[in-house]
Copies of this chain bind each other. A is one copy, B any other.
């Protein structure tokens, strides 16, 4: 039976990216060695890093004066690395859920943290708007997409200060005005690669402004100056990122990704709104295109497990909602197909007809 992968992350990747990675693991560039066995200093691997950096810059239209680096440790490590490198006295954070709160917690180790806005009182079912942003903060930190609740900032904020963005779950799904940010970071395992690498885009001239001593590996300048080769980088995850960015570019870049993302989301939210069994959980204008959350309508809550089993029997994988929201979550990252979304919609319709 055909499986439709709606995992929230690690998640679906384009099949050709998967197959090319597997092939290179068997034999890298016809060298007779595996991609997993080559030195990161090998002359065949430097072009992989170079192309991946170039593709990130091209696909996201990164302005001059920014560096792209690849690190281990996940976005969670960036929750402390970003303030270590950028927080002088005071930073502002927009609290849009668990990941934003975790980022705030780490920042408090390095300075004063102002929660400039929060949707906590409504269980993060919307993106705060119309709040004051202090102008005496070193940066404003935002989480552009919130996987757990299914909310998303569909365009970059107009802030009177520099921004730092955790874009782990919607990077490469839409154009970003990188010039507004001193730092953008993202764990790879949504729209970029397999788990094991984190991409960081930093504005070079914003680095080196803090007084605290920084451990070498936690200083972005270390990795910028060595082109992500200060120590052994995660070779295979970087290779897969390159393949995935080639796929994004070949399929029209982030403008095309954004268009298809909206198409998928419109289809699925349309069915959620139409189908009497289900309802969305997020304020309409803030609905994520990446993580589409829905629950059973009040009079049908007892059907939740039955729908889960039914959808599973139709090939859906990973649609269980996060425990903080309940119900269902269909993650639709770049590699998600219209066919997959339609299969889920068909299952929802068929289940409705049964009840």
Contacts and interface: CB of A to CB of B under 8 A. Distances in A.
A46 interface: no
Nearest to A168: B232
Contacts of A237: 196, 234, 236
Nearest to A76: B231
Contacts of A39: 7-11, 318
Contacts of A84: 215
Nearest to A15: B34
A216 B32 contact: no
Interface in A7-59: 7-13, 18-19, 21-23, 25-26, 31-40, 42
Contacts of A215: 79-80, 84, 106, 109
A19 B18 CA distance: 14
A317 interface: yes
A195 B10 contact: no
Interface string A213-256: 10111100000000000111111110010000000000000000
Chain A interface main SS type: loop
The copy count of this chain in the complex is: 2
A216 B79 contact: yes
Interface in A163-181: none
A314 to B, nearest CB: 13
Interface stretch (A66-74, A89-97, A122-130): A66-74
A75 interface: yes
A203 to B, nearest CB: 23
A105 interface: yes
Contact of A10 (B72, B74, B106, B235): B235
Contacts of A8: 39
A298 B309 CA distance: 75
B236 A196 contact: yes
Contacts of A31: 3, 317
A197 interface: yes
A102 interface: yes
A312 to B, nearest CB: 12
Contacts of A150: none
A217 B10 contact: no
Max count, chain B CB within 10 A of own CB: residue among A26, A79, A215: A215
Contacts of A74: 72, 217, 231-232
Contacts of A236: 194-196, 236-237
A5 interface: yes
A187 interface: yes
Nearest to A233: B195
Contacts of A23: 22
Interface of A: 1-3, 5, 7-13, 18-19, 21-23, 25-26, 31-40, 42, 71-77, 79-80, 84, 102, 105-106, 109, 187, 189, 193-198, 213, 215-218, 230-237, 240, 317-318
27 contacts: A1-B32, A2-B32, A3-B32, A7-B42, A10-B38, A11-B39, A12-B37, A18-B25, A18-B36, A22-B25, A31-B317, A33-B317, A36-B193, A71-B72, A74-B217, A74-B231, A75-B231, A76-B217, A79-B216, A80-B215, A106-B217, A109-B215, A189-B235, A195-B233, A196-B197, A196-B237, A234-B234
